[in-house]
Amino acid sequence: MVNDQDRAAAMAQVAAEIRVCTTCELCRTRTQAVPGEGPATARILLVGEGPGWHEDQQGKPFIGNSGKFLSELLASAGVSREEVFITNVVKCRPPSNRDPMPDEIAACAEFLDRQIAILDPEIVVTLGRFSMARWFPGERISRIHGQAKRDGRRMIVPMYHPAAALHQGALRPVIEEDFARLPKILGEVERFREAEAMKSREEPRIQQQSLF
């Protein structure tokens, strides 16, 4: 992806395809699809589970109670909601907020893959077990929450779903502490990306030197 304009156009194209998608059964019961929201230049991507009632009505992710809490968590970590991209594993609301089914997650995975490829985010934050399962299959959130794992050019950070912390007060300080680590993790990614960029600038020079 060459420039910011191309990125924004590519994200808009994915969103347009999501809005008319009929690949799985969820299209029959949705009011509207919820592609995701945020700048195409976002350094942090947050991936939730699926739209709830409010999101389905308005076509935007995380705008209900857990969305408000998510904005607070980001703000307390010094990150504004406007600078991150927020989406979900499934882009259409499962009826009565039931769990998304494996075939629905699989049908929607291509959209998430494309969003990740376009954004090339430094950090992916997973919110809840369905997005965690994509990068940490078989893991338990109580064991790995807040622990960043490197995945190629980025870090994946599994977090509790904000709704879980709203329901269980004891999780509140835990999720707050986990979010507070984000700036440090961004710094780590910046350093390893810079080291890699330096290496790729050096390599042609070293190869040339070894010719003589």
Residues within the interface to ligand URA (CB under 6 A): 48-52, 55, 61-62, 66-67, 88, 128
Nearest to 39 by CA among 76, 86, 77, 72: 86
Cβ nearer to ligand URA, comparing 66 with 71: 66
Contact between residue 89 and residue 129 where contact means Cβ atoms under 8 Å apart: no
Minimum Å distance from CB 101 to ligand URA?
A: 15
Nearest to 81 by CA among 46, 55, 50: 46
Is 49 or 104 the residue whose CB approaches ligand URA more closely?
A: 49
Choose among 88, 44, 83: nearest CA to 182: 44
- Provide the minimum distance between the beta carbon of 19 and ligand URA in the complex, in angstroms, as a whole number: 15
What is the nearest approach in angstroms of ligand URA to the Cβ of residue 87? Answer: 8
Residue 99's identity, in one-letter code, is D
Residue number of the CB atom closest to ligand URA: 48
Choose between 35 and 51: whose C-beta lies nearer to ligand URA: 51
Closest approach, Cβ 51 to ligand URA, in A, equals 5
How far apart CA 23 and CA 17 sit, in angstroms, is: 11
